[in-house]
Amino acid sequence: MPLVTSKEMFKKAYEGGYAIGAFNVNNMEIIQGITEAAKEQQAPLILQVSSGARKYANHTYLIKLVEAAIIETDLPICLHLDHGDTFELCKSCIDGGFTSVMIDGSHHPYEENVALTKKVVEYAHDHGVVVEGELGRLEGVEDDVKVAAGEGSYTDPEQVQDFVSRTGVDSLAIAIGTSHGAYKFKPGTKPQLRFDILEEVEKRLPGFPIVLHGASSVIPEFVEMINTYGGKMPDAIGVPEDMLRKAASMAVCKINIDSDLRLAMTGTIRKYFAEHPDHFDPRQYLKPARQAIKDMVAHKIVDVLGCNGKA
């Protein structure tokens, strides 16, 4: 099966009240862990690559690893550029075999976001590639860009119809209170998301797929593992899984997960070294890390996203 776009996946997810997991990939073990879980669960999958991941691992290596995953799993897999920030980067990924790109113009003034997104959509659609746009701004760290607490902004539902019709995007990322990274909510406060905004967006764009970034739950088991074995992340807090389930049952068709992969991998490796201080063969510690990713992704697919058996 060749790489697919997310078009069909989103249509079925919207109608079925579930979401597709979009997992960030940076190396072979991460790709293997995610795709082995998806294969066992027969789940459609989005593998996404940030510009940082592309710099780290190299475009060709990532493409070839994803091609290998398709051969091994025979699943519908969409390869997506996460947080593309320029037309040139999006073009390079489209020309280089990606089936989906995000153009994140959310940091630009509205009219500039519209113009940049429209330009990417025109090029992408001419090449059979789909596009995710963003309205509203998430806090947190992505690549080299840090949006400080208080500098994010919720999506204005009044803008979404105009943005979608003028740009022609295929899906839209909105800001309802999630943020990137492992520190999403103030310690001691109750995590809250603006489901009222999601509802308003859904009303204005019936049937249109919405994307939730910053959607890691920052799984406490892995934070605890990191803190037990020499790390220091005491205030790490993520999005409660029941909120993600609620979003998936609404218009959210794509749920982005990166931090949970990082925590699973790092926690497992820290524990491994604490228990085997004399080991130095990378296969010995990468194997349980890959397994931890696989188990965590299977849990997300079955218990949070609800996309098991939908491939």
Q: Under a CB-based contact definition with an 8 Å cutoff, are residues 194 and 145 in contact?
A: no
Tokens representing 290 are 């890959």
What is the total count of residues that contact ligand 13P (CB under 6 A)?
Answer: 13
Residue 82 annotated among the catalytic residues of the structure: yes
Under rule CB under 6 A, residue 142 binds ligand G3H = yes
Report the C-alpha gap between 132 and 206 in whole angstroms: 17
Site string for ligand 13P, 248-277 (x = CB under 6 A): --------xxxx------------------
Structural contact between residues 112 and 58, judged by C-beta atoms closer than 8 angstroms: no
How many residues line the site for Zn ion (CB under 5 A)? 1
Helices (H), the chain: 7-16, 28-41, 51-57, 59-73, 87-95, 110-126, 157-167, 195-204, 220-228, 241-249, 259-275, 282-299
Site string for Zn ion, 209-238 (x = CB under 5 A): ----x-------------------------
Give min distance, CB of 147 to Zn ion, in A: 11
Piece of 5-13, 123-131, 209-217, 283-291 that binds ligand 13P (CB under 6 A)? 209-217
Pairing mode, strands 45-50 and 145-147: unpaired
Pick from ligand G3H, Zn ion, ligand 13P, none: which does 300 bind, CB < 5 to 8 A by kind? none
123 touches 111 (CB < 8 A): no
By CB under 6 A, tell whether 83 contacts ligand G3H.
yes
Least distance (Å) from ligand 13P to the CB of residue 274?
A: 25
Of the residues 19, 53, 69, 261, which one makes contact with ligand G3H according to CB under 6 A: 53
Task: Kindly state the helix (H) or strand (E) to which residue 147 belongs, with its residue range.
Answer: strand 145-147
155 binds, among ligand G3H, Zn ion, ligand 13P, none (CB under 5 to 8 A by kind): none
Q: Tokens 């931890």 label which residue?
A: 292
In the complex, the residues that contact Zn ion under the rule CB under 5 A are 213
